Amino acid sequence: MPALKNILKQENTRREVLVTSYVVPDAARCVQCGICSFNCPIGIDVRRHAWRGEPVKDSRCLTCGECVARCPRGVLRFERTNLFEPEKLDFRGLLEAAQQSLLVEHH
Amino acid sequence: MRHYVIIGSGPGGIAACEAIRRHDASGEIVVIGDEPYGYYSRPGLAYLLTGEISEKNLFPFSQEDYRHLGSKFLHGRANRIQPADHTVIVQNHTTHPVVYDRLLIATGSTAMRISNPGCELEGVVKLDNLDDARRIIKLARKAKTALVVGGGITALEIVEGLVSRGVKVHYFLRGDRYWSNVLDETESRVIEERLVDEGVHIHFHTELAEIIGNRGRVAGVKTTKGEMLKCDLVAVAIGVRPRKELAEASGLKTDRGVVVNDALQTSDADIFAAGDVAQVYDPLTGKSILDTLWAPARDQGYVAGLNMAGQTTFFHKEPAFNVTRLACLTTTIIGAVGRGDDPDLLGIARGDSETFRQLPDAIAAQSNFDVNRLRVLVGTSTLIGGIVMGDQTLSKAIQVIVANRVDITPIRQHLLTPGVPLGDLIADFWTRWKTTDASKQS
Ligand SMILES: Cc1cc2nc3c(=O)[nH]c(=O)nc-3n(C[C@H](O)[C@H](O)[C@H](O)COP(=O)(O)OP(=O)(O)OC[C@H]3O[C@@H](n4cnc5c(N)ncnc54)[C@H](O)[C@@H]3O)c2cc1C
Ligand code: SF4
Ligand code: SF4
């Protein structure tokens, strides 16, 4: 069963895709500890992106991977640019939409 | 103009401000907090202790952010809520009760204390807030030997912090293993071995009886078996309890926490509760439960804020999960994984959820690869929980499978076959599920 190997291989080939990807947070895992922002060599406030669930679309991002590697909770990962639509990543909006769709279902 | 009052400036309180502001540009928001620092990352305190970050890194919001929120911070302890006239009495501001139309109680939780002789000596510490962390750091400068008692994540965070500051650490466990009601035996042993490698002295079946002082300071401890240990610091992490006294005293319905409905409303329609202090209905177990987790506190605060601003919204509890570092090993705990009591904890721990211990009839399937360990709890047709230690490749997959109650019947028998490569099996299933049923994702 090669699936796990494939996923791991994706990790290994990360370097190759760095240039074409953003740092993307999984907001629900983040505890706002600030390790990412502290370790970003050019001072991007990665934590703020994690709070909002927004990818780091700062053109200054070196895609050095420092924030991804240092986050103690696996919040951050690199994702190819074309794999998501940024407007869908508004975390609060998403939550609100989800909760309100539930509301609709209730009635 | 509506008056919103929020008691507590943790993630619950802050998320409520954000939600209110999103829908009410002009309402007045007052945040009452008894810590002078306002909003900061409480889990980040663990990394402050290890020296990975400095104090200023704990604060996620800038002055600009607060201006943007347009909330007013009132430093002081809320002493009493008077639901009949919609006011809150705040310490040091007693002549000016704060008036509310909608009130949120987001007072969090607080560490339980020990009552052993000597517990009031200088050098006995807990880890609840920034003041506690500062105290530990200050004491660790001089301390040579420390004793840690308790369990769960916080006990280990203190252990790690002290070890990284060069303090020799003894760790007392009442039973025969670490965090026995969430971890299984192998997982406990993995953690214990790593602690021993770091130089920690673990004492099993050992219980603190008395703390011995010298001129008001900790000088050592005595165990229930009469053994003596010299130390100059005693750290206690035996669990936390929700700070529900305020709600209780004002006649709101409380149980283990402040009881709320699915709009996060308390027994008084104008008063809401969110975060560690709230006891919330959990559809997964059918019970009303406590979490001490950052993400649910934030989500609940947000939903409470929406309701306070008149946007009727229900809170839908996701299966609890926490990603943490135990003895430097990244560990994700998802849904129901254990049961019963832990002799080292008197209640819920920090970064904990009662869901983690709601183990119904399920069979555990597990597999080891290097230090990485994977355990999933297999229900009749779904996965109901899992623990991923080390390599986190599969933690997201398991989280989504548990949260969405994905039907795992196609692989259930395989999962339960001894010796099966669990990781591959789940990765394979996950990849297929994602491609065939991508709409269900996230
Ligand atoms: C050391 C540590 C490690 C942690 N690790 C993790 C982790 O790994 N993962 C995770 O998910 N969570 C973790 N947590 C838990 C997480 O921080 C909490 O679940 C979260 O902060 C709860 O948010 P809250 O808004 O409910 O309350 P809190 O963040 O506790 O904030 C409540 C605030 O209200 C104040 N307050 C209380 N009563 C009053 C009153 N009467 N008047 C005025 N102010 C009052 C308190 O002083 C406090 O400032 C950890 C916590 C600690 C301390
Ligand atoms: S390091 Fe990770 S957990 Fe900490 S603030 Fe950054 S993204 Fe969040
Ligand atoms: S990848 Fe590097 S440059 Fe980009 S945000 Fe992370 S730490 Fe900063």
B242 vs A87, more confident: B242
Provide the pLDDT for residue B321. Answer: 84
Provide the pLDDT for residue A101. Answer: 43
CA angle A7–A9–A11, rounded 5-degree value: 80
Provide the pLDDT for residue B328. Answer: 84
Q: A82-91, B113-122, B194-203, B214-223: which range is least confident on average?
A: A82-91
Q: Tell me the residue type at A2.
A: P
According to the per-residue pLDDT averaged within each range, which of A5-19, B39-53, B378-392 is highest? B39-53
Alpha helices by DSSP H, listed for B250-293, are none
Ligand 1, atom 19, lies closest to the CA of: B293
Provide the pLDDT for residue B307. Answer: 98
Provide the pLDDT for residue B206. Answer: 97
- Report the separation in Å between the CA atom of A22 and the middle of ligand 3, taken as the mean of its atom positions: 9
Which atom of ligand 1 is nearest to B90's Cα? 42
Is the pLDDT reported for residue B428 higher than 50? Answer: yes
Dihedral sign for Cα atoms in the order B341, B344, B347, B351: negative
Which atom of ligand 3 is nearest to A43's Cα? 8
Alpha helices by DSSP H, listed for A1-107, are 3-12, 14-17, 35-39, 46-52, 66-70, 91-106
Nearest C-alpha in A relative to B15? A92
Is the pLDDT reported for residue A19 higher than 60? Answer: no
Domain locations in chain B? 3-110+241-308, 124-238, 321-441
Asked whether the beta carbons of residue B431 and residue A6 sit closer than 8 angstroms, the reply is yes
Q: A85-89, B183-187, B193-197: which range is least confident on average?
A: A85-89
Ligand 1, atom 41, lies closest to the CA of: B78
- Decide whether any atom of ligand 3 lies within 6 Å of the A27 Cβ: no
The domain at B3-110+241-308 falls in which architecture? 3-Layer(bba) Sandwich (3.50)
> Residues B333, B389: contact at Cβ < 8 Å?
no
Is the pLDDT reported for residue B76 higher than 80? Answer: yes
* Confidence grade of residue B381 (pLDDT, cut at 50, 70, 90): confident
A34 in reach of chain B (CB within 8 A): yes
- Decide whether any atom of ligand 1 lies within 6 Å of the B10 Cβ: yes
- Report the separation in Å between the CA atom of B38 and the middle of ligand 2, taken as the mean of its atom positions: 19
Ligand at shortest distance from the CA of B78: 1
* Confidence grade of residue A89 (pLDDT, cut at 50, 70, 90): very low
> Residues B344, B175: contact at Cβ < 8 Å?
yes
pLDDT digits (tens, 9 = 90+) for B280-294: 988 767 888 899 999
Which CATH number, 3.30.390.30, 3.40.50.11900, 3.10.290.10, 3.90.650.10, labels domain B321-441? 3.30.390.30
Ligand 3, atom 6, lies closest to the CA of: A67
Write out chain B residues lying below 8 Å of A5, CB-based.
Answer: 424
Q: Percentage of chain B with pLDDT > 70?
A: 93
Ligand 1, atom 6, lies closest to the CA of: B351
- Report the separation in Å between the CA atom of B43 and the middle of ligand 2, taken as the mean of its atom positions: 10
Provide the pLDDT for residue B131. Answer: 98
B239 vs B95, more confident: B239
B22 in reach of chain A (CB within 8 A): yes
> Residues B157, B147: contact at Cβ < 8 Å?
no
* Confidence grade of residue B178 (pLDDT, cut at 50, 70, 90): very high
Ligand 2, atom 8, lies closest to the CA of: A30
User: What is the arithmetic mean of pLDDT over B374-381?
Assistant: 86
Q: Cα B430 to the chain's mean position, in Å?
A: 29
User: What is the arithmetic mean of pLDDT over B14-28?
Assistant: 97
Is the pLDDT reported for residue B315 higher than 80? Answer: yes
Tell how strand B168-172 and strand B321-326 pair up.
unpaired
Residues near B177 by Cβ (< 8 Å), separated by ≥ 6?
A: B183, B185, B188, B189, B192, B204
Q: Percentage of chain B with pLDDT > 90?
A: 66
Residues near A40 by Cβ (< 8 Å), separated by ≥ 6?
A: A46, A66, A67
B172 in reach of chain A (CB within 8 A): no
Provide the pLDDT for residue B337. Answer: 81
Record the tokens describing residue B91, joined without a space: 């310490």
Provide the pLDDT for residue B397. Answer: 87
Substitution target from A8, A32, A70 for chain B, most B beta carbons within 10 A:
A32
Length of chain A: 107
* Confidence grade of residue B181 (pLDDT, cut at 50, 70, 90): confident
pLDDT digits (tens, 9 = 90+) for B111-157: 999 999 999 999 999 999 999 999 999 999 999 999 999 999 999 99
Provide the pLDDT for residue B380. Answer: 84
- Decide whether any atom of ligand 3 lies within 6 Å of the A56 Cβ: yes
Closest approach of B46 to chain A, Cα-based (Å): 9
User: What is the arithmetic mean of pLDDT over A17-44?
Assistant: 86
Is the pLDDT reported for residue B308 higher than 70? Answer: yes
Provide the pLDDT for residue B376. Answer: 86
* Confidence grade of residue B370 (pLDDT, cut at 50, 70, 90): low
SS3 breakdown of chain B: % helix, strand, coil, rounded to 5?
Answer: 30, 30, 40
- Report the separation in Å between the CA atom of B43 and the middle of ligand 1, taken as the mean of its atom positions: 9
Sole residue written with tokens 């779904």: B382
Substitution target from B298, B307, B352 for chain A, most A beta carbons within 10 A:
B298
pLDDT digits (tens, 9 = 90+) for A42-56: 999 999 999 999 999
Ligand 2, atom 1, lies closest to the CA of: A71
Provide the pLDDT for residue B419. Answer: 76
Which atom of ligand 3 is nearest to A66's Cα? 7
Provide the pLDDT for residue B367. Answer: 63
Domains of chain A in start order, with CATH, are: 2-105 (3.30.70)
Fold adopted by B124-238: FAD/NAD(P)-binding domain (3.50.50)
Q: B99-113, B266-280, B358-372, B400-414: which range is least confident on average?
A: B358-372
Provide the pLDDT for residue A103. Answer: 43
Is the pLDDT reported for residue B5 higher than 80? Answer: yes
Site to probe by mutation for ligand 2, drawn from A23, A26, A33, A51 as the one with most ligand atoms within 8 Å of Cβ, is: A33
Residue B306 burial (C-beta neighbours within 10 Å; 0-12, 13-18, 19+)? buried
Provide the pLDDT for residue B375. Answer: 87
Which atom of ligand 2 is nearest to B41's Cα? 5
A12 vs B315, more confident: B315
Tell me how far apart the alpha carbons of residues B44 and B52 are, in angstroms, rounded to a whole number.
Answer: 9
Q: B77-81, B285-289, B358-362: which range is least confident on average?
A: B358-362
> Residues B292, B353: contact at Cβ < 8 Å?
yes
B58 vs B96, more confident: B58
Reported ipTM exceeds the 0.90 cut:
no
Ligand at shortest distance from the CA of B59: 2
pLDDT digits (tens, 9 = 90+) for B156-177: 999 999 999 999 999 999 999 9
Q: B62-66, B86-90, B365-369: which range is least confident on average?
A: B365-369
Q: Which of B19, B53, B324 sits opposite A35 (nearest CB)?
A: B53
According to the per-residue pLDDT averaged within each range, which of A2-16, A80-94, B205-219, B419-433 is highest? B205-219
Write out chain A residues lying below 8 Å of B294, CB-based.
Answer: 30-32
Instruction: Report chain B's mean pLDDT, rounded to a whole number.
Output: 90
* Confidence grade of residue B359 (pLDDT, cut at 50, 70, 90): low
* Confidence grade of residue A9 (pLDDT, cut at 50, 70, 90): very low
- Decide whether any atom of ligand 1 lies within 6 Å of the B55 Cβ: no
Is the pLDDT reported for residue B31 higher than 90? Answer: yes
Asked whether the beta carbons of residue A4 and residue B424 sit closer than 8 angstroms, the reply is yes
Write out chain B residues lying below 8 Å of A92, CB-based.
Answer: 18-19, 22, 302
B19 in reach of chain A (CB within 8 A): yes
Q: Which of B57, B324, B424 sits opposite A38 (nearest CB)?
A: B57
Fold equal for B124-238 and B321-441: no
Site to probe by mutation for ligand 1, drawn from B128, B350, B354, B355 as the one with most ligand atoms within 8 Å of Cβ, is: B350
- Decide whether any atom of ligand 3 lies within 6 Å of the A71 Cβ: no
* Confidence grade of residue B358 (pLDDT, cut at 50, 70, 90): low
